[in-house]
Amino acid sequence: MRDGIFHLSNYRLRQFKFLSLLLLTSALLFACAPRSESGKGTPPGNLAAEMREVTDDAGKRVRVHARPERIVSLAPNLTEIVYAVGAGPRLVGNTTYCDYPREANQVTKVGDTLHPSVERILALRPQLILVSTASQLETFARQLDEQQIAVYVTDPRDLDGVLRSIVSVGDLLGQRAEAERVAGQLRERAARVEEATRSRQPVSVFYQLSAEPLYTAGHDSYITDLVRRAGGRSVTADVPGAWPRYSDEAALSSRPEAIVMATGGSMGEANADIAAALKNSPAARSGRIIKINGDYLSRPGPRLVDGLEQMARSLHPEAFGQ
Partner 1 sequence: MRFVTIETAKAGSPATADFARGAHTTLRRTLAICSLLALALLTVGLVSMLMGSQRLPITGSLCLIFGGDGGRCGLTPEQQAILFDLRLPRVLLAASVGASLAAAGAGYQALLRNPLAEPYLLGISNGAAVGTMIALVFLGTQTWTRSLMAFAGALAATFVVYRLARGRTGTSPEKLILAGVIVTTFLSSAIVFITTMMDATRIRSFNFWLLGDLSGSTSSLLTIGLIAALLGTVLLAAHGRALNLMMLGERDAFDLGVEVERVRLIVFLAASLLVGASVASSGSVGYVGLVVPHLVRLSVGSDNRTTIPAAALAGALFVIVADTAARTIIAPRELPVGAITALIGAPLFVYLLRRG
**Closest approach of Cβ 96 to partner 1, in Å?**
10
**Closest approach of Cβ 127 to partner 1, in Å?**
27
**Closest approach of Cβ 249 to partner 1, in Å?**
4
Nearer to partner 1, 215 or 320 (CB): 215
Contacting residues for 154 by C-beta, under 8 A, at least 6 apart: 56, 57, 78, 130, 131, 132, 133, 165, 168, 169
- Cα angle vertex 266, ends 261, 271, to 5°? 30
Q: Which DSSP string corresponds to 74-116?
A: -SHHHHHHHHHTT-GGGEEEE-TT---SGGGGGSEE-B-SSSB
Residue closest to 209 by CA, chosen among 189, 197, 227: 227
Nearer to partner 1, 68 or 265 (CB): 265
**Closest approach of Cβ 265 to partner 1, in Å?**
12
Residue closest to 231 by CA, chosen among 272, 192, 203, 264: 203
Residue closest to 295 by CA, chosen among 159, 85, 97: 97
Nearer to partner 1, 263 or 310 (CB): 263
Nearer to partner 1, 24 or 276 (CB): 276
**Closest approach of Cβ 87 to partner 1, in Å?**
25
Nearer to partner 1, 182 or 296 (CB): 296
**Closest approach of Cβ 253 to partner 1, in Å?**
5
Burial of 14 (0-12, 13-18, 19+ CB in 10 A): exposed
Nearer to partner 1, 251 or 311 (CB): 251
Binding-site ranges for partner 1 (CB under 8 A): 97, 112-115, 210, 212-215, 236, 239-241, 244-250, 252-253, 255, 267, 270-271, 276-277, 280
d(CA 254, CA 233): 12
Distance spanning both ends of the chain, measured CA to CA: 96
What's the number of CA atoms in the CB half-sphere (13 Å) around residue 193? 27
Contacting residues for 157 by C-beta, under 8 A, at least 6 apart: 220, 221, 222, 225, 242
Nearer to partner 1, 246 or 296 (CB): 246
d(CA 67, CA 51): 9
**Closest approach of Cβ 313 to partner 1, in Å?**
25
Nearer to partner 1, 96 or 143 (CB): 96
Residue 2: other Cβ atoms inside 10 A: 6
**Closest approach of Cβ 217 to partner 1, in Å?**
13
Distance between alpha carbon 296 and the CA centroid of its chain, in Å? 12
